[in-house]
Amino acid sequence: MADWVGRTAGEIAGAVQRGEVTPRQVVAEHLARIERVDPRIGAFRKVLAEQALAAADRLADRDDLASLPLAGVPVAVKDNLAVAGEATRNGSAATPDTPAPADHETVRRLRAAGAVVIGLTAVPELCVFGTTDSVFGTTRSPWDLSRSSGGSSGGSAAAVAAAMVPIAVGNDGMGSIRIPSANCGVLGLKPGHGLVPADLGHDGWSGMSENGPIATCAADARLLLAVLAGGGPAPAAGTDPAARAEDGPLRIALSVRCPTAGIPVDPQLVAAVRDTGRHLAGAGHRVIRAEVPYPWWLGAASVGRWLAGTADDARGLHPQLLNPRTRRHAALGRAVTRAGLVRQAQRSSWQTQLDRFFAQYDVLITPTLARPAPPAYRWHTRGWLGSVLSNMRYAPFSHPWNLARWPALALPAGHHPDFAAALPLSVQLVAPPGGEQRLLALAAELEERRPWPRTAPDPAR
């Protein structure tokens, strides 16, 4: 492994700030890594090699280099966020190939913090489904190339897991940060509403979608979140006033009940939740088994927004250039909108129920997924129903927190013992609004007590 490939973002930024390495050297090593391993993984829709090296050279001349929190750090950006001078294809042949005139606000903040945008990561068409495959290719988990990286931030999660970049930006409307982070064995945080600028599609699937960090460790996730949320210095672990750090141990609920009735949960994912609880109990927290009171209508409320949001995002695109399952999804979304099935009362009712539940708890832990990732396959060539059923069976735990607009984090939790490949296990941590730092503090605590391999074995070997 090269000197700077595989290092954390914090380590790279510190070395660049101290003059121990140049931004160009860091970027060049990561570009070489991408060239060597990405042909087998498919994490990038487009690698911005020349642009990144030029940006690294400009960065080296900045007078404030020593103060930039992401000085010289290569970062990948999901291909539904505008990067100036590049087309935003959003996984679709129907989107225009005209260059974006300006950066999305999150990209602007990354550059202002000293990060170097090294490429645009792959997504499924319009970021609709939970596997990353499109006319631009199929993205695979670096842990097992026969399995999907997940979606829709599958390219971002795979790039981080394969050490092609130390950090990446994703977004999450029904689990699109947490699902691929779980499949790829990395940490992914969906912030609560309003912390990070969203500006995703028409209205972010009725306000369910948020931009957030994907990283290999809690410290890097905290660092990237601070930049995305406004560019200030990253708060230290445990400094969130809601984190109860000064008031004593956290009250942590463990719940393994699936939000969708009838979907079985892999016993190893249940065991990962309980093992996480044992570690936290050993750290002095109060851990209680307490099942979340998911209402029967919750899935329909989330799916209605998912469908209607796709219809909005597909408006103005040539329908014949969309793949058939996306056209079907958008058509159903138009029907949902006409029927008035997306209602604010659904979100308000769910938030009220959660307020009652969380009156007794500070953090909830659930499985991130219900089963391991599906095969890496050109799912976009199959029918709509097969894709939806696959998504529902393997990733039912994420959507409740998009509907609620609460922060939720996917965290590595070991590896599945029933497969020859080291398939990652993952748990989901949820907190009430404003609890992002609480979640990251717990993630750091678990990382210390139960460390995980930050990157996958080299897929090119």
Nearby residues of 131 by Cβ (< 8 Å), 6 or more positions away: 124, 148, 149, 150, 151, 154, 373, 374, 376, 377, 379, 387, 390, 391
141 near 42, Cβ under 8 Å? no
Q: pLDDT grade, residue 91 (50/70/90)?
A: very high
pLDDT at 238 over 80: no
d(CA 394, CA 265): 9
Q: Is residue 3 part of a domain?
A: no
Catalytic annotation, pick one of 92, 149, 153, 176: 176
Residue 422: its pLDDT value, please? 86
Residue 231: its pLDDT value, please? 55
Q: pLDDT grade, residue 267 (50/70/90)?
A: very high
pLDDT at 234 over 80: no
Read out DSSP for 103-142? --HHHHHHHHTT-EEEEEE---GGG-SSS-EETTEE-EET
Cross-strand partners of 277: none
pLDDT at 141 over 80: yes
Q: Is residue 457 part of a domain?
A: no
Catalytic annotation, pick one of 148, 152, 209, 255: 152
Mean pLDDT of the chain: 95
How many Cβ atoms from other residues are within 10 Å of residue 280's Cβ? 23
In tens, the pLDDT along 391-411 reads 999 999 999 999 999 999 999
Residue 245: its pLDDT value, please? 41
Q: Is residue 228 part of a domain?
A: yes
Q: Is residue 407 part of a domain?
A: yes
What percent of the chain has pLDDT above 90? Answer: 93
Q: Is residue 190 part of a domain?
A: yes
- Residues of the domain holding 143: 9-449
Residue 389: its pLDDT value, please? 93
Q: What is the CA radius of gyration of the chain?
A: 20
* Dihedral of alpha carbons 297, 299, 304, 309, sign: positive
Provide the CA 176 distance to its chain's centre, in angstroms.
6
Token pair of 50 as six digits = 């020349």
Residue 233: its pLDDT value, please? 47
Q: What is the mean pLDDT of residues 181-207?
A: 97
452 near 256, Cβ under 8 Å? no
Q: What is the mean pLDDT of residues 123-135?
A: 97
Catalytic annotation, pick one of 78, 148, 156, 398: 78
Cross-strand partners of 286: 251
d(CA 8, CA 348): 40
Q: pLDDT grade, residue 459 (50/70/90)?
A: confident
In tens, the pLDDT along 26-74 reads 999 999 999 999 999 999 999 999 999 999 999 999 999 999 999 999 9
Nearby residues of 338 by Cβ (< 8 Å), 6 or more positions away: none
CATH of the domain at 388: 3.90.1300.10
166 near 160, Cβ under 8 Å? yes
Of 174, 127, 461, nearest to 305 by C-alpha is 174
Q: pLDDT grade, residue 213 (50/70/90)?
A: very high
Of 132, 125, 92, 45, nearest to 377 by C-alpha is 132
pLDDT at 120 over 90: yes
Provide the CA 262 distance to its chain's centre, in angstroms.
26
pLDDT at 247 over 70: no
Q: Is residue 458 part of a domain?
A: no
190 is catalytic: no
Indicate the SS3 state at residue 447: helix
Q: What is the mean pLDDT of residues 195-223?
A: 97
176 is catalytic: yes
Q: Is residue 389 part of a domain?
A: yes
Q: If you count them, how many residues does the chain have?
A: 461
Token pair of 187 as six digits = 């940490």
In tens, the pLDDT along 359-370 reads 999 999 999 999
Q: Is residue 370 part of a domain?
A: yes
What domain count does the chain have? Answer: 1
pLDDT at 232 over 80: no
In tens, the pLDDT along 416-450 reads 998 878 899 999 999 999 999 999 999 999 999 99
In tens, the pLDDT along 305-341 reads 999 999 999 999 999 999 999 999 999 999 999 999 9
Residue 237: its pLDDT value, please? 40
Q: pLDDT grade, residue 248 (50/70/90)?
A: low
In tens, the pLDDT along 269-286 reads 999 999 999 999 999 999
pLDDT at 244 over 50: no
